[in-house]
Chain A
């Protein structure tokens, strides 16, 4: 009886909260707004990002500047996913008896053809350069940290699949990932100390359409790009090197 009462109270509380929240949303009215309707948030973003922040790509300005704290949360979600995967699939070295054939037998069993290998070798640096371009130019062209990082990870994926012996330097990856995460938080703390709020952009913004413009936005996107690239590469590396359970 008490259990049922508690459940009823919980559902009632949830229902009340939802009812209050939903009743305050003006369903059916245009709250997204436009430039003609200047008191809405969209008009504010569209006006402020090219004029005050000097960022050509409004999406970047929203993601990194106006909603920068949410981006930090997203990056930590990705970090948690990579950590969880690694902790589930991790095995101690002692448990691996036939350690010598670890990398040979548990990747793809047959070697890739020389066509694939040569193609991967040619494409790999180009993909890396494209990824770096995408996240460095995040505030000028479509794309940004997440997109560039994912593109770099696909480049590493190509190499991991084509070459059996290809290995990423684990220590370098871990250090890069940690430093990029610390850099993002460091930029946030810099804004907090100097301008009074977390992830506050600097007053200096440069000119519209310059590579170095928009204050701290390119710096944050470079950190995000490095972090996403190393995390996704680590996930792929872990997945490709796991040892199947003994039958």
Chain B
């Protein structure tokens, strides 16, 4: 029973983190949201008796993928809206303005 409640709480955290990382406009926090998704997923894999996959998910999903995304954000822009506005303005003609 306790395990069931734990799994349900974990599933709620998983879905909430996934929705958060989609809705978040600040890309850094969105990436951290995907990291939380990976963390909960690796716990799930462990509970579902797949320790091989759990180790892989922990090493690659939590650490490596998150860090690679953070490095990419550091070299580009952090704010989603700013990039989109710049991008749209570049292709705007005089007629639109």
Contacts and interface: CB of A to CB of B under 8 A. Distances in A.
Given A242-B75, A244-B75, A236 B55 contact: no
Interface string B51-83: 110111001100110011001101100000000
Contact of B63 (A146, A154, A244): A154
A244 B76 CA distance: 9
Nearest to B76: A244
Interface residues on B, range: 10 to 19
A119 to B, nearest CB: 15
Contacts of B52: 59, 142-144, 147
A161 B74 CA distance: 13
Interface string A209-237: 00000000000000000000000100110
Interface string A50-87: 00000000010000000000000000000000000000
Contacts of A132: none
Nearest to A235: B68
B74 to A, nearest CB: 8
Nearest to A151: B59
A43 interface: no
A143 B53 CA distance: 8
A161 B55 contact: no
A239 B68 contact: yes
A59 B74 CA distance: 39
A240 interface: yes
10 contacts: A142-B54, A144-B52, A146-B56, A150-B56, A161-B67, A232-B64, A236-B67, A239-B71, A239-B72, A244-B75
